[in-house]
Amino acid sequence: MRISTISEFSGFRTLREESLFRFFWLRFRKHSMALVGTTIITIIIFMVAFAPLLTPYDAFKQDLKHRLQAPSAEHWMGTDDLGRDLWTRILYGGRISLSVGLTAMAISIIFGSLIGLTSGYYGGWVDSILMRITEIFLSIPRLFVLIAMGMFLRSLDLPSLQAGSFLPISIVIGALSWMGTARLVRASTLELRDREFVQASRALGAHDARTLFQHIFPNVASPIIVSATLGLAGAIISESGLSYLGFGVQLPTPTWGNMLSNTQNQMLTAPWTAIFPGLMIFIVVIAINYLGDGLRDALDPRHIVGKK
């Protein structure tokens, strides 16, 4: 009898992973708007990452002689009320806005996934307590708590939590955005915990942590990925709203949100100061939503995307 070697099993595993990726790609590419969204997000990420190479101007240097200039060959998107190049401000502001979104999304996904896995796996009184806490957080008026928590964190004498830092707003948005992920992961875990492979893991004496993260978590990763993309869009909108109200990242550090907050008196005289930051928020959010739709369709085997 021929005994298979470890290398053969490794080759089979690699082939299986390639087949799963190919299956995912075949389904994902049928969603044309998701491909467009992915392309847009990729381009914007490269633009903000290599901002110094795309503009000769300083995002903070004021030039009052050229304030509120309309878009031109010298200033593609015009200048703001302090003479700063708007294109440069948008590039550097994108770094902060996307950093806030990614950090807040990571906090909410990690915390929500842990709560959902624990609640769904153990059930009973653990599930009851965690879900009641989740419902309490869902009932809290989010905007007022975001403002209060942001002001409290900035009042702490820590350099990383000062007004010009994106960390305070990221923490408060992430801390109030995990509930949807927790409920989604809990529902998937409740469905999986009585499956044969989970029961087999328990019968073999595996620790709960190993069963959760080696057997259950990979099977709930798909909805988590989709939730992460939609959560990223929501976090960017939340940051923009709070910065517009003056409670987010503070000037002179640019974000797309706080760039809008200073344009209320310029809408008629210099509309480009509001149009371009608002347009960037719109483009990024809608592109992320399309990407999330494509991931949902590609990762959900029950969802049929077109025909061959």
- What b/e readout covers 177-213, taking b as 16+ CB neighbours within 10 angstroms? bbbbbbbbbbebbeebbeeeebeebeeeeeeeeebbe
Q: Tell me, what CATH number does 194's domain have?
A: 1.10.3720.10
- In a domain, residue 23? The reply is no
The answer to whether the CB of 232 falls within 8 A of the CB of 105 is yes
Q: Do you know the residue count of the chain?
A: 308
Note whether residue 288 is domain-resident. Answer: yes
Cα–chain-centroid distance for residue 231?
5
Answer yes or no: is 307 within a domain: no
Residue 237 lies in a domain: yes
Residue 272 lies in a domain: yes
In a domain, 120, yes or no: yes
How many domains are contained in the chain? Answer: 1
Query: d(Cα 160, Cα 155) in Å, to the nearest integer?
Result: 11
Domain holding 118, by residue range, is: 77-299
Helix axes 86-122, 32-49, angle to 10 degrees: 120
Average pLDDT over residues 174-198: 85
Note the pLDDT tens digit of each residue in 262-298. 777 787 888 888 888 889 999 998 998 888 888 877 7
Q: What is the pTM of this model?
A: 0.80
pLDDT of residue 219: 80
